[in-house]
A and B are shown apart, each in its own frame.
Chain A
Amino acid sequence: MEYCNCFESPWPADELLMKYQYISDFFIALAYFSIPLELIYFVKKSAVFPYRWVLVQFGAFIVLCGATHLINLWTFNMHTRTVAVVMTTAKVLTAAVSCATALMLVHIIPDLLSVKTRELFLKNKAAELDREMGLIRTQEETGRHVRMLTHEIRSTLDRHTILKTTLVELGRTLALEECALWMPSQTGLELNLSYTLHHIMPVGLSVPIQLPVINQVFNTSHAVKISPSSPVAWLRSSGNNMPGEVVAVRVPLLHLSNFQIHDWPELSTKRYALLVLTLPSNSARQWHVHELELVEVVADQVAVALSHAAILEESMKARDLLMKQNLALDVARREAETAVHARNDFLAVMNHEMRTPIHAIIALSSLLQETELSPEQRLMVETILKSSNLLATLINDVLDLSRLEDGSLQLEIGTFNLHSLFREVLNLIKPIAAVKKLYVTLILSPDLIEHAVGDEKRLMQVLLNVVGNAIKFTKEGGVTVSAFVTKSDSLRDPRAPDFFPAHSDNHFYLRVEVKDTGSGINPQEIPKLFMKFVQSQPLATKNPGGSGLGLAICKRFVNLMEGHIWIESDGPGRGSTVIFIVKLGIPARLNESKLPFLHKAPGNQIELNFSGLKVVVMDDNSVGRMVTKGLLVHLGCDVLAVSSAEECVRAVSNEHKVVFLDVSMAAVDSFEVAVRMREKFSKRSERPFIVALTGNTERMIKEKCRKVGMDGVILKPVSVDKMRRVLSDILEHGYLVESQ
C-alpha cells in the first residue's frame, strides 16, 4: 500500500480495508511502544547488560517507528499540513535511526554470537571439571581408606592382629567377598593359607610356590588380576554363580637386614606372601584402578608393619632371655658369695679351733719331753711332737694360702728392723741346723739399711720357709744367707721377662740369696716346685718334704710384695740357691705419720710438761670416768675424778688447771656446773680451764658450750695423742685451737 501526501483518493476508499489498516497501525504502534518498555523493565532487572547504549539506540528506533505508525493514523483522512510535517519529521528521524541501528548491528551481532560460543565452551569446561572433581573425590576417598587402613594396621605391633586387621579393613573398604593371605612355609617351597576373612577357603591349604601365576604376581610390585579358577583363588564355581574378579598382590616379608641406612629397602628379599582379593560374585563389579592402587599401598604398609612386629618379637625374646640369664647369674653369684663366706667363716673358726688343741699337744709334749722317760717313750713323744708341729704348719699354710688365693690377704705394712729380722730367723734356725751339724752364715750387705717398711711377719715367713727348706734338704755342709740392696741391672731375671721393677725414691729392692750345699734339684723340676701340693721328693725319704704348700705361699707373698722368687741349681747333688727380690719402703722418706709403728712409740718430751698437772674429771659413768682418768694419769697428770656436779663444784680449787666435764650425762647438767664454776672463781687467772667431752657431733652443743663460757670441746672417743694435743693447746693458748 503506498502512502501519498495528496489530497485525492485514487479510488473510493474501501471502508473495511481502511478500518483494518487503521486498527493494525494502531496495534503496531502500541506494540512498538511497549517493546522498549519491556526491554527497559527487563534490563533494569538484570544486573549485567553490556550494551545499554545499543538499547537506547534500539529503543529510539522502535519508538520512532511506533510514532510513525501512530501518526499514520491521522493520515487516513484529510489532514492538515502540520500533521504532514510531523509525519515527515518522524519518518526522517526513523530512517536515520534505523540506518544507524542497522549499521551498528553489523558490529554487535557477531559479538553476541561469540558470547554464545563462549558460553558453550564454558559449559563444556564445567562438565569436564565436574568429571575431574568426581575422580579426585574418589581418589581422596581411597586415600582416606588407605590412611585408615594403615592406621589400623600400624596401631598394633602384634603380627596376627596386623594381618587380621588388614583383611578385615580391606574387606570392608572394598566390599570384598573373600580376602586371603598366603604365607611362605619354612622351607620356602610352598605357600600356606594362613588367614582368611570369611573362611570360604579352609585355612592350612598349601600350594607349591613355583606356579606360573604366583611367579607372575611375585615378579611385579603391582596388583595383578588373576583367574578365579587358579589354585590360590580356589573358588568353587558352583553352577550359575559368576565368580567375581580376583586380584593378587605380593607382600614382601622384610628382615632387619633389608633396611640399609642410606638406601630404602631394595626388594632384595626373596620371601613374599600373597594377598588374594575376590570381588563378590554376581555383582558385575570390576576392579578399578584406584582400588588396585589402594591394594598395592596397603600391601606395602603391611610389609613394613609386619617387619616391625617381627623385630619387636625378636627383641622381646632377646630381652627375656637376657633377663633369665641375669637372674641365673645373680643366683650363681650369690651362691658363690655364700660359698666363699661360708668357707672363710669355716676356715676362721676351724683355724682357731684347730690350733688351740694342737698348741696344747705341742706344749704338753714338750713338757713331757723334759720329764724322765724310757727310750721308747721318748721316741714316742718325739714323734708326737714332730707330727703336731707338722700339723700346725699345715693348718697355718692352708689358711694363708686360701686367703692369698681369694685375694683377701693384704700385707700389713709397718716399719721394722731389717737386720734384726734376719738375725731372728737365723736364731730360730740355728738349733735345728746345729742338730744336723750344718753351718748357717748370714751376710748382710753394708749398704742395707737398718729399718725398712713392709710386712715384717710375712717376710719372716718367707725367709723361714726358704731357709728351713734349705736346711731340710741339706745333709752336709750348710746354708748361706746373703742380703743386699739390688741395683737396676741385676734386677732382671732372665726367666721373668715380665718383671720390670720400677724405681722410686721411696722404695728399694731387697735381694736375698739362700745358698745350700744340699741335694740340688733337677732343672726340669724347678717350675713344679712353686706349684702347690706337688711333692718333689720320693715318699721313701725320712724327711718328707712337707705339705708342698710352703714354696707356693712364699711365691704368693713375694708377688704381693711386688717381687719375684726363683731357684737356681746346677743339678742333683750340686746344691741349689733360692733367690728372691722384694720391694720394701724406706722409712725416712715416707710419710711416717700414716704408718703405725709395731713397737711402742718412745715417750714424748711434751709428756714431761704434764707431770703433776692437777686436773679434775667429772663423769657420772664409772667406766668412762675410769678411762678418762687413766688417760690423763698415763700422760702424767694428777687426776681427781668426781661423779656429780655438787662434788665437782665443791672440789675444784684454784690449784686445778683443767676441768674435764662430760656433757653427755643425762642426769647432770654440765652446763650449769660451768656457770657455777665461773661464779665461784671471779678472777680469770684463778679459774681452771673448762673443757667439755661429748660424743655428740651436733653444732648446737658446741655453741652452747661456748655460750656458757667453756674453753673448749673435745669429741669422744679421745685417744692418747688427742688428749696430749688438747692439753698442750689449752695450756699454751688458753683455748683450744680447734674444737676437736
Chain B
Amino acid sequence: MEIGGEYLEILGSSILMTDYLEYSNALFREGLLDGQFIQLQMLRDDSNPDFVVEVVTLFFEDSQRILNELSKTLDEQNVDFKKIDANVHQLKGSSSSIGAQRVRNACIAFRSFCDAQDVESYGFCFFVLFPDQMCLRCLQQVKQEYLLVKNKLEALLRLEQQIVAAGGVVPTLNDVS
C-alpha cells in the first residue's frame, strides 16, 4: 500500500502540475499575462520563496487603491484629468511590472482618451459621449480586466500552494514571449 500511496502522491501532484502548466499556458495564450510574469517566477528561489506571492499581493493592494481613487475622481463635478492621468499611469506601471498585459493595455487606452480633451479627436463613434463618460467606460474596462487577472492569479497561486502541499515542485514556466 505504501508503494501505492507514493504512486498516488506522484500521480496526484503530477496531475496538479499538469493542471498548473495548462492553466498558466492558457493565461498566456489569452494575453492575460506576458513574459514579465515568468521573469517574476524566475526570481523565486530558496532565499525568497514567497517573492511572487508578495509582489502579487502588493499589486492587488496598490491597484485596488488606485481604482478606488479613480472612481472617486470621476464622480466629482469637475473632473481633474491630470489626476486621473497620473493614477492610470501608476496602474500601468504596476501592471507592466507584474506582467498583467491586458490591464496594461486597458490603461494605455484609458490614457489616450484622457490625453485628448476635445471631443473631435475621439472619432465619429464617440462624439455623442462626453469625456468623463468615456473615462468612465475606460475605467470599467480597466476594472474588468483587473478583476479577471486578479481571479486568475489567485487561482494560480492557490494551485501553487496545492502543489507545494502535495509535495511537488512548482514547475517553471516556459518563456513563451
Residues of A in contact with B (beta carbons under 8 Å apart): 348, 352, 355, 359, 362-363, 366, 370, 412, 414, 428, 431, 596, 598-600, 619-624, 626-628, 630-631, 633-634, 662, 664, 666-667, 695, 716-720
Q: What are 13 A-B interface contacts by the 8 Å CB criterion?
A: A352-B19, A359-B16, A431-B3, A431-B7, A598-B174, A620-B90, A621-B94, A622-B62, A624-B94, A627-B97, A666-B85, A717-B34, A717-B96
Q: How far is the CA of A224 from the CA of B34 in the complex (A)?
A: 88
Does B122 sit at the interface, judged by CB under 8 A? no
Are the CB atoms of A622 and B89 closer together than 8 Å?
no
Interface string of B4-37 (1 = CB under 8 A from A): 1101101010011001001100100000001110
Collect the chain A residues with CB atoms within 8 Å of residue B26's CB: 348, 352
Q: How far is the CB of B163 from chain A (nearest CB, A)?
A: 13
3 smallest beta-carbon distances between A and B, as pairs: A623-B94, A621-B93, A624-B97
Q: How far is the CA of A37 from the CA of B33 in the complex (A)?
A: 131
Residues of B in contact with A (beta carbons under 8 Å apart): 1, 3-5, 7-8, 10, 12, 15-16, 19, 22-23, 26, 34-36, 39-40, 42-43, 45, 48, 51, 54-55, 58-59, 62, 85-86, 89-90, 93-99, 172, 174-175
Q: How far is the CB of A668 from chain B (nearest CB, A)?
A: 11
Nearest B-chain residue to A356, judged by Cβ? B19
Collect the chain A residues with CB atoms within 8 Å of residue B5's CB: 370
Collect the chain A residues with CB atoms within 8 Å of residue B22's CB: 352
Point out the residue from A428, A599, A623 that lies within 8 Å of B62, measured CB to CB.
Answer: A623
Nearest B-chain residue to A667, judged by Cβ? B86
Q: How far is the CB of A368 from chain B (nearest CB, A)?
A: 12
Q: How far is the CA of A596 from the CA of B175 in the complex (A)?
A: 7
Are the CB atoms of B55 and A623 closer together than 8 Å?
yes
Are the CB atoms of B99 and A717 closer together than 8 Å?
yes
Are the CB atoms of A717 and B39 closer together than 8 Å?
yes
Q: How far is the CA of A667 from the CA of B86 in the complex (A)?
A: 8
Collect the chain B residues with CB atoms within 8 Å of residue A634's CB: 42-43, 45, 48
Given contacts A431-B3, A624-B94, A717-B99, are A352 and B23 in contact (CB under 8 A)? yes
Q: How far is the CB of A403 from chain B (nearest CB, A)?
A: 12
Are the CB atoms of B174 and A596 closer together than 8 Å?
yes
Point out the residue from B15, B16, B96, B172 that lies within 8 Å of A716, measured CB to CB.
Answer: B96
Are the CB atoms of B7 and A630 closer together than 8 Å?
no
Collect the chain B residues with CB atoms within 8 Å of residue A363's CB: 12
Nearest B-chain residue to A351, judged by Cβ? B22
> A428-B7, A623-B93, A634-B48 provided; 5 other pairs, C-beta below 8 A?
A600-B172, A621-B93, A628-B97, A667-B86, A717-B97
Q: How far is the CB of A55 from chain B (nearest CB, A)?
A: 102
Point out the residue from B12, B35, B97 that lies within 8 Å of A719, measured CB to CB.
Answer: B35
Q: How far is the CB of B79 from chain A (nearest CB, A)?
A: 17
Nearest B-chain residue to A634, judged by Cβ? B43
Nearest B-chain residue to A695, judged by Cβ? B96
Collect the chain B residues with CB atoms within 8 Å of residue A621's CB: 62, 90, 93-94, 97
Nearest A-chain residue to B40, judged by Cβ? A627
Collect the chain A residues with CB atoms within 8 Å of residue B42's CB: 600, 634, 720
Are the CB atoms of B35 and A720 closer together than 8 Å?
no
Given contacts A623-B93, A623-B94, A666-B85, are A631 and B39 in contact (CB under 8 A)? yes
Q: How far is the CB of A415 from chain B (nearest CB, A)?
A: 12
Q: How far is the CA of A630 from the CA of B7 in the complex (A)?
A: 37
Q: How far is the CA of A352 from the CA of B175 in the complex (A)?
A: 23
Q: How far is the CB of A116 from chain B (nearest CB, A)?
A: 96
Nearest B-chain residue to A624, judged by Cβ? B97
Are the CB atoms of A630 and B48 closer together than 8 Å?
yes
Given contacts A355-B19, A359-B15, A717-B35, are A626 and B58 in contact (CB under 8 A)? yes
Nearest B-chain residue to A619, judged by Cβ? B93
Q: How far is the CA of A348 from the CA of B27 in the complex (A)?
A: 12
Collect the chain B residues with CB atoms within 8 Å of residue A623's CB: 55, 58-59, 62, 93-95, 97-98
Point out the residue from B19, B43, B95, B172 that lies within 8 Å of A631, measured CB to CB.
Answer: B43
Nearest A-chain residue to B94, judged by Cβ? A623
Collect the chain B residues with CB atoms within 8 Å of residue A662's CB: 93
Q: How far is the CB of B137 from chain A (nearest CB, A)?
A: 23
Are the CB atoms of B174 and A412 closer together than 8 Å?
yes
Are the CB atoms of B40 and A630 closer together than 8 Å?
yes
Nearest A-chain residue to B175, judged by Cβ? A596
Collect the chain B residues with CB atoms within 8 Å of residue A631's CB: 39, 43
Q: How far is the CB of B92 from chain A (nearest CB, A)?
A: 8
Collect the chain A residues with CB atoms within 8 Å of residue B4's CB: 431
Q: How far is the CA of A622 from the CA of B1 in the complex (A)?
A: 51
Collect the chain A residues with CB atoms within 8 Å of residue B97's CB: 621, 623-624, 626-628, 716-717
Nearest B-chain residue to A389, judged by Cβ? B11
Collect the chain A residues with CB atoms within 8 Å of residue B15's CB: 359, 362
Q: How far is the CA of A535 from the CA of B95 in the complex (A)?
A: 52
